[in-house]
Amino acid sequence: MKYILLLALIFIGCESTNDPEINNQLLTPQIRKLYVTNDGITLPWGYADTLQVVIEIQRKIEDENYQLITLLTYSQYSDKYEFLDTSLTNGKIAYYRIRAKYGPRVSDFATYPPVVKHTLEIVDTNFASYPEFKVIKLANEKILLVGKIYSEDYNSSMVFDPISYVWNTPIYLPIYQSNFSLDLMNDGNVLLTGGNGTSGYSNKTFVYDVNTNLWQESVPMNYKHSSHSTILLQDANLFVVGGVYAGSTYSNKCEIFDIQINQWIETSSLNLARSHHSTTLLPDGRILIAGGYTRDGYNDLTSSSEIYDINENIWYNVASMKTPRIDHSTVLLPDNRVLVVGSDNPYVHTRECEVYDIQSNIWLSIPDMAYYYVSQAANLLNDGRVIVIGNTGSMNGEKFNSEIYYPDKNIWVQCNLMPDINNFRDCVLLSNNRLVIMGGQLENYMYIMNFN
């Protein structure tokens, strides 16, 4: 009898050697970062042992229930597992979850973050050789680009027509500098202020005449400003705030360009000198300044914030952000809160986001983004969503991503991956809800993402 029992135990042990898991509970698949292209949603995952395992993938669209979309059977181990869902409709939020099955046994579900797909069109992959540039939308919906020409000692500008997809002939500027600001004035012309380059830090300004397609030097500012912020006030005057004026010496100087008298007027100074900060025009006409560099050295980042009351000509300190930030982006939301995302902090990358409640003077944390952004832009879409797009750094694998914030749902949703490109530079949101995206180094590229 004992020999029969021993043989039975041996047989049972041999029979179970091919099982993916000897316990009743199977291993849960390990999800990887999904990515979005025009072709669909690619869902990658890892699994330690897939012998005879069936992978079940379910999807739900927005507020619907989860539905089975595929069953995948694996008879042997593979080092790459992924599924491409080509059936998702543009603009719909989708949620995916995945589990393993083996006979009557099933694993727990692993759930991917929400995702949405929009059409991404490649417009140009080598339109110029600008290692640095900025762009701005003109009143006629065309796009003005200003930047440094590779291997040359001057700046130039070009105008892009987003209907015909044609660039005009470059126009040269008598400067060679970066870290300037561009602002569209009420007369339809563009004012370039400050910057730094071969001639040092600048207080010069230049006006681009949209009718003649020419640049002309304008009234110099009272102070030198580089890596500063600018914002058009409700009275159509231009406000310039802070920046760098010598080496790594930061400025607290502020001034307003009065278009009626064509003159720069000094205003009260910031409480804290800073550069690489954000500037947001609030609904009541006040200006919110947040973050930036504050002293020499990259470690001197600040989370502090100030508000300027233009009627009283006074700056007063308000609540600080939860996270120190530089080169971040802010957006005034439809509910009048201020959203802040990203930071080009070379020491501490962050996915954390927050909103400023103007009435209560509180910065509130909201859900984190999927990626950290070291160079990004944020734009408010026509439907109230916020698109964030930019460089996410080599630690994330894919370098150029996009995400959308839904204020009504308080969620971040992953959006299209930009294929085979990096070095995001700038983008412009057109009135028809199309986003023109530009970047590159020696070979500049351009994409258009359609949110309609």
- Where does 19-93 show beta strands of DSSP type E? 30-31, 35-37, 40-46, 53-61, 67-74, 81-85
Phi and psi angles of residue 404, each rounded to the nearest 5 degrees, phi first: -125, 130
Which of 433, 416, 436, 417 shows the shortest CA–CA distance to 167?
Answer: 436
Is the pLDDT confidence value at 40 over 90? Answer: yes
Alpha helices in 364-432 (DSSP H): none
Q: How confident is the model at residue 73 (pLDDT cuts 50, 70, 90)?
A: confident
Between 443 and 211, the more confident residue is: 211
Residue 18 pLDDT > 50: no
Element holding 5 (H helix, E strand):
helix 2-15
Largest CA distance in the chain: 110
Torsion angles phi and psi, residue 15, rounded to 5: -65, -30
pLDDT exceeding 70 applies to what percent of the chain?
Answer: 88
21, pLDDT greater than 90: no
Q: Cα 415–420–421 angle (5° rounding)?
A: 80
Is 294's pLDDT higher than 50? yes
In terms of Cα–Cα distance, which of 37, 19, 137, 144 is closest to 82?
Answer: 37
Instruction: Please identify, among 81, 111, 141, the residue that sits at the C-terminal boundary of a domain.
Output: 111
* pLDDT per position as a tens digit, 215-254: 999 999 999 999 999 999 999 999 999 999 987 789 999 9
The 338-341 sheet, strands edge to edge: 329-332, 338-341, 353-357, 362-366
The amino acid sitting at 99 is: R
Look up residue 27 and give its two tokens. Answer: 């291993």
Q: Which residues pair with 96 in a beta bridge?
A: 59
Mean pLDDT of 250-269: 97
pLDDT of amino acid 421? 62
Give yes or no for residue 295 having a pLDDT over 60: yes
Residues 276 and 138 in one domain: yes
Buried b (16+ CB within 10 A) or exposed e, 383-408: eebbbbbbbbbeebebbbbbbbbbbe
Average pLDDT over residues 397-408: 84
Do 124 and 37 have their domain in common?
Answer: no
State yes or no: pLDDT of 15 exceeds 50: no
Question: What's 25's domain CATH number?
Answer: 2.60.40.10
* CATH code for position 346: 2.120.10.80
**Looking at 59, 91, 111, which one is the last position of a domain?**
111
Q: How confident is the model at residue 375 (pLDDT cuts 50, 70, 90)?
A: confident
Same domain? 53 vs 146: no
Domain identity same for 239 and 379: yes
Please tell me whether residues 151 and 94 are part of one structural domain.
no
pLDDT above 50: residue 23: no
Of residues 334 and 25, more confidence is placed in 334
Whether residues 371 and 421 fall in one domain: yes
pLDDT at 399: 67
The whole-number average pLDDT for the span 88-110 is 93
Residue that wins the pLDDT comparison between 374 and 367: 367
Residue 135 pLDDT:
95
Q: HSE-up of 240 (CA within 13 Å, CB side)?
A: 34
Same domain, 66 and 130: no
pLDDT for position 117: 95
Name the band, by pLDDT with cuts 50, 70 and 90, for residue 20: very low
Residue 125, pLDDT score? 76
Q: What is the pLDDT of residue 298?
A: 55
Q: What is the pLDDT of residue 199?
A: 82
State the pLDDT at residue 10: 32
User: Are 413 and 311 part of one and the same domain?
Assistant: yes
Q: Which domain holds residue 29?
A: 2-111
**Of 78, 111, 144, which closes a domain?**
111
Sheet strands side by side (includes 177-178): 177-178, 196-197, 200-201
Q: What is the pLDDT of residue 79?
A: 67
DSSP state letters, 318-373: EPPPSS--SS-EEEE-TTS-EEEE----SS-----EEEEETTTTEEEEEPPPSS--
Same domain, 400 and 306: yes
State the pLDDT at residue 51.
62
Average pLDDT, the chain: 88
Give the confidence band of 27 by pLDDT, cuts at 50, 70, 90: confident
Q: Is the pLDDT score of 14 beyond 60?
A: no
- Whether residue 4 is predicted with pLDDT greater than 60 in this model: the reply is no
Q: Report CA torsion sign: 296, 301, 304, 307.
A: positive
Mean pLDDT of 401-406: 94
Average pLDDT over residues 406-415: 96
- Span of 36-40, 268-272, 391-395 with lowest mean pLDDT: 391-395
Sequence length of the chain is: 452
Q: Are residues 435 and 352 in the same domain?
A: yes
Residue range 151-166, pLDDT digits in tens: 777 889 999 999 999 9
Res 360 pLDDT > 80: yes
Q: How confident is the model at residue 299 (pLDDT cuts 50, 70, 90)?
A: low
33: nearest Cα among 444, 369, 376: 369
Quick one: 193 and 287 in the same domain? yes
Indicate the number of domains in the chain: 2
pLDDT digits (tens, 9 = 90+) for 305-321: 999 999 999 999 999 99
Looking at the DSSP bridge assignments, the partners of residue 137 are 143
Cβ-proximal residues to 31 (8 Å cutoff; 6+ apart), any chain: 43, 44, 45, 98, 110, 111, 112
Does 408 share its domain with 392?
Answer: yes
